[in-house]
Chains A and B, each alone.
Chain A
Amino acid sequence: GQNIDQPTEMTATEGAIVQINCTYQTSGFNGLFWYQQHAGEAPTFLSYNVLDGLEEKGRFSSFLSRSKGYSYLLLKELQMKDSASYLCAVRDTGGFKTIFGAGTRLFVKA
């Protein structure tokens, strides 16, 4: 079956580093995405991994291990505005269906 797991909630302190993990089991794999969604708003794209390794983009980095069905999103120098839900999503091969995880709600405290 298709399954994406990520923690429900995480709390971190302003200025710190936080790692949000995502494990997936899908019938096919054609890329993993991370999106940020603030409450009441639409998701916005953060990163895309299709090959193993680390992709860095400013304060945000995303890692992928296809053999382990595992990814993480790393947020550095946390800011209060980073408080949001972070969605892990996997695109399937046949039909390009994208499966989303339930999201991880990140709370950044002062």
Chain B
Amino acid sequence: EAGVTQSPTHLIKTRGQQATLRCSPISGHTSVYWYQQALGLGLQFLLWYDEGEERNRGNFPPRFSGRQFPNYSSELNVNALELEDSALYLCASSQHNEQFFGPGTRLTVL
């Protein structure tokens, strides 16, 4: 069974640009979660999507947004990038309790 996949693996942008990160959940999982993990810090909850709807979001500004597609894959968009947005962005999917994490996208903002 294929796990959670994310693309791209690495992404380099400059301040003010926009970044799009993608996630494909495990087949059969309808929930997708996005987390930000800055260097040396814990995972910070960003967004939760389920059945195509945004169910909850963390304490992040509106320039962090996303969506979930009918096939349950998801996209995270970060607009007007700032230096402090540099981090590992992890996507996780779940069906019940356990969350299965993807390998992450390392976003670097220069």
Binding site for B on A (CB under 8 A): 31, 33, 35, 41-45, 48, 50, 87, 89, 91, 95-103
- Classify the secondary structure of B's interface with A: strand
Q: How large is the interface on B (under 10, 10 to 19, 20 to 34, 35 or more residues)?
A: 20 to 34
CB pair B90–A43 under 8 Å, yes or no, is yes
* Residues in chain B near residue A44, CB distance under 8 A: 101
Q: Which of the segments B14-22, B39-47, B68-76 contacts the partner chain?
A: B39-47
Instruction: Give complex CA distance A103, B41 in Å.
Output: 8
Q: Say yes or no: A43-B56 contact (C-beta < 8 A), given A48-B98, A98-B99.
A: no
Instruction: With CB as the reference atom, state the residue of chain A lying closest to B31.
Output: A96
Q: Say yes or no: A100-B42 contact (C-beta < 8 A), given A42-B104, A95-B48, A95-B55.
A: yes
Chain B's nearest CB lies how many Å from the CB of A48?
A: 5
**Given A31-B97, A100-B35, 14 extra CB contacts under 8 A:** A41-B103, A42-B101, A43-B101, A48-B97, A48-B98, A89-B43, A95-B48, A96-B56, A97-B56, A97-B58, A98-B99, A100-B43, A100-B45, A102-B41
